[in-house]
Chain A
Amino acid sequence: MKINIDGKDFEVDPKKRLLQILKEKGFEIPSLCYQEGISIQSRCRLCIVEIEGKLKASCEILPKEGMKIITNSDKVQTARRVNAELLFAEQSKFCSTEHKEHDLCKIISELGVRDRKFDTKKKYKVDLGAAVVRDDNKCVNCGRCVATCAEIQATYAIDFAFRGNKEHVTPYFEHDLNDVACTKCGQCIAACPVGAISEREHLQEVLQVLKDKKKHVVVQTAPSIRASLGEEFGMPPGSLVTGKMVAALRKCGFDKVFDTDLGADMTIMEESAELLKRIEKGGPFPMITTCCPAWILFMEFFYHDLLKNMSSCKSPHEMLGMLTKTYYAKKAKINPKNIIMVSIMPCTAKKFESTRPELKSGVDYVLTTREAAKLIEHFKIDFKKIADEEFDPTLGVSTGAGAIFGASGGVMEAALRNAYETATGKRVSKLEFDQIRGMDGIKHGSIIIKGKEIKFAVANGLWNARKLLEKAKDYHFIEVMACPGGCIGGGGQPLPVNKDILQKRMNAIYQQDAKMKLRVPLENPVVQQIYKELLGNPLSKKSEELLHTKYTKRSKF
Chain B
Amino acid sequence: MNLKEVYPDCDKLLPRLIAEQKKNGFISEQAMKKISDETKIPISRIYAATTFYANLFVRKQGNYLIEICNSPSCYLNNSLDVIKELEKLLKIKSGETTKDNKFSLHIGSCIGCCDKAPAMMINKKVYGNLTKEKIKEIIQKCKS
Interface, chain A (partner B; CB < 8 A): 39, 150-151, 156-163, 170-173, 180, 557
B33 touches A557 (CB 8 A): yes
- Verify A161–B33 contact, CB threshold 8 A: no
Q: Which residues of B sit under 8 angstroms from A170, Cβ to Cβ?
A: 47
A151, closest chain B residue (CB): B1
Q: Is the CB of A159 within 8 A of B58?
A: no
B42 interface residue (CB < 8 Å to A): yes
The answer to whether B131 has its CB under 8 Å from any CB of chain A is no
The answer to whether B36 and A159 have CB atoms under 8 Å apart is no
Closest to A157 in B: B44
Chain B residues with Cβ below 8 Å from A172 are 29, 32, 43-44, 46-47
Residues of A within 8 A of B48 (CB): 159-161
**Sample of 20 further A-B pairs with CB below 8 A, known A159-B48, A172-B46, A173-B32:** A150-B45, A151-B1, A156-B43, A156-B45, A158-B44, A159-B42, A159-B44, A159-B45, A160-B48, A161-B47, A161-B48, A161-B51, A162-B52, A163-B51, A171-B44, A172-B29, A172-B43, A173-B58, A557-B33, A557-B36
Q: Is the CB of A39 within 8 A of B1?
A: yes
Residue of B nearest to A156 (CB): B42
Query: Which chain B residue has the least Cβ–Cβ distance from A555?
Result: B33
A156 and B44 in contact, given A39-B1, A557-B33 (Cβ under 8 angstroms): yes
Q: Which residues of chain A are within 8 angstroms of B43 by Cβ–Cβ distance?
A: 156, 172, 557
A160 to B: closest C-beta gap in Å: 5
> Which residues of chain B from 30 to 75 have a CB within 8 Å of any chain A CB?
32-33, 36, 42-48, 51-52, 58
Residues of chain A with a CB closer than 8 A to B58's CB: 173
Complex Cα distance, B43 from A162, in Å, reads 15
Q: How far is the CA of A204 from the CA of B137 in the complex (A)?
A: 61
Provide the residues of chain B in CB contact with A180, threshold 8 Å. 44
B52 touches A173 (CB 8 A): no
**Chain A residue with the shortest CB-CB distance to B36:** A557
Q: Closest approach, in angstroms, between the C-beta of B21 and any C-beta of chain A?
A: 16
22 CB-based A-B contacts, threshold 8 Å: A150-B42, A156-B42, A156-B44, A159-B42, A159-B45, A159-B48, A160-B48, A161-B47, A161-B51, A162-B51, A162-B52, A163-B51, A163-B52, A170-B47, A172-B43, A172-B46, A173-B32, A173-B47, A173-B58, A180-B44, A557-B36, A557-B43
The answer for the CA separation of A150 and B3 in the assembled complex, in Å, is 12
Question: B36 — which chain A residues lie within 8 A by C-beta?
Answer: 557
Shortest B86–chain A CB gap in Å is 19
Measured between C-beta atoms, what is the minimum distance from B127 to chain A in Å?
A: 25
6 A-B pairs closest in CB distance: A156-B42, A172-B47, A159-B44, A159-B48, A161-B51, A162-B51
- Min Cβ gap B109→A in Å is 11
In the bound complex, what is the Cα–Cα distance between A150 and B44 (angstroms)?
A: 10
A150 to B48, CA, bound (A): 13
Measured CB to CB, the closest approach of chain A to B75, in angstroms, equals: 15
The distance in angstroms between the C-alpha atoms of A172 and B42, with both chains bound, is 10
State A39–B36 Cα separation when bound (angstroms): 23
CA distance in complex: A231, B95 (Å) = 49
Chain B residues within 8 Å of A39, by CB: 1
Please name all residues of chain A whose beta carbon is closer than 8 Å to the beta carbon of B1 when the two chains form the complex.
39, 151
Give the chain B neighbours of A557 by CB distance below 8 A.
Answer: 33, 36, 43
CB–CB B29/A173 < 8 A: yes
Q: How many angstroms from the CA of A151 to the CA of B46 in the assembled complex?
A: 16
Tell me the bound Cα distance from A160 to B43 in angstroms: 12
Least Cβ distance of B27 to chain A in Å?
10
Alpha-carbon gap, A162 to B47, bound state (A): 9
- What is the distance, in angstroms, from B42's C-beta to the closest C-beta of chain A? 3
Bound-state Cα–Cα, A11 to B3, Å: 33
Report the minimum CB–CB distance from A146 to chain B (whole Å).
9
- Report how far A170 CA is from B52 CA in the complex, Å: 13
A81 to B51, CA, bound (A): 31
CB proximity of A24 to chain B, nearest CB, Å: 24
Segment 76-106 of B: residues with Cβ below 8 Å from A? none
Q: Which residues of B contact A161 (CB under 8 A)?
A: 47-48, 51
- Complex Cα–Cα for A160 and B44 (A): 8
Contacts of B42 in A (CB 8 A): 150, 156, 159
Closest to B53 in A: A163
* Chain A minimum-CB-distance residue to B54: A163
B54, chain A: closest CB distance, angstroms: 8
Of A156, A157, A173, A180, most B-chain CB atoms within 10 Å: A173
- Would you give the 0/1 interface string for B102-118, flagging 1 where the beta carbon is closer than 8 Å to chain A? 00000000000000000
Docked complex Cα distance between A39 and B5 (Å): 15
CB-CB under 8 A from B51, the residues of chain A are 161-163
Bound Cα distance A160, B33 (Å): 18
Residue of A151, A159, A161, A172 with most partner-chain B CB within 10 A: A172
- The docked-state distance in angstroms from the alpha carbon of A151 to that of B5 is 13
The docked-state distance in angstroms from the alpha carbon of A161 to that of B49 is: 8
Residues of A within 8 A of B29 (CB): 172-173
Write out the residue numbers on chain A whose beta carbons fall within 8 Å of the beta carbon of B47. Answer: 159, 161, 170, 172-173
